[in-house]
Structure 1
Amino acid sequence: MTPEHGSDPVAAVLAALAEPTRRHVLDALAARGTATATELADGLPVTRQAIVKHLAVLDRAGLVTAHRAGREVRYRPAPDTLTATARWMADLADAWDRRLLAIKHLAEGATAAEGARAAE
């Protein structure tokens, strides 16, 4: 986790995914299942060194895990953190939907009351 995000995993995930190249790296890694930085760099228009830096950010955010296999470091997606972030976003969307529905009901009730008064 990066210091600027403290112990807030959602903030770390959103910050990590705000950079388009990191999303491409994560997509490429998800498609492969596991890969080295060199393998990922072969399919992306950035250097291996840049891929390593992006993978480090993704690792700190909990979106990938790294393990050494001989001289290589292999990365794999860690979907649990992304799933938790998606769940938080869905809960937030549900809360907003409930608020908007309540506002709609209030507005419709006010409109109906005004219509009834006008008909009198």
Structure 2
Amino acid sequence: MARTTKKPQAAPAGDVGIHAPTFTFEPFKWVPDGFDLPSRATVHQRELANLVNHVKDVAGGAETVLQLMLAHGCEIAQGDPVYLKPCHIGMLQQLAIRALQSLDAEADDITGRLRDHAKGKP
């Protein structure tokens, strides 16, 4: 008995506002270039300062965690005594993950407000 299968059709993705990179090292564009914002759109200085503080905190923390993990790997490779236990490495990874998630949540909030503003909502 011949069996036929249908190829499932992809549902339209709609306008998600994310531009996937074409080239290997091209960054994602979470807010498209043609985003409908007024040409003189500005950001409140306090909001910008808070965002910069958050980005610097998260980036500095993630950098520290990665450096500690790298040093730990080098200690193991060289046979030196290790100062961090695997559970400590896991806790540092969780710390970096949570910090990056908070930064992502803040970016999502800002993106939502930008979209609302572009649609004419206050």
Using structure 1 for the length normalisation, give the TM-score: 0.35
- Larger strand proportion, structure 1 or 2? 1
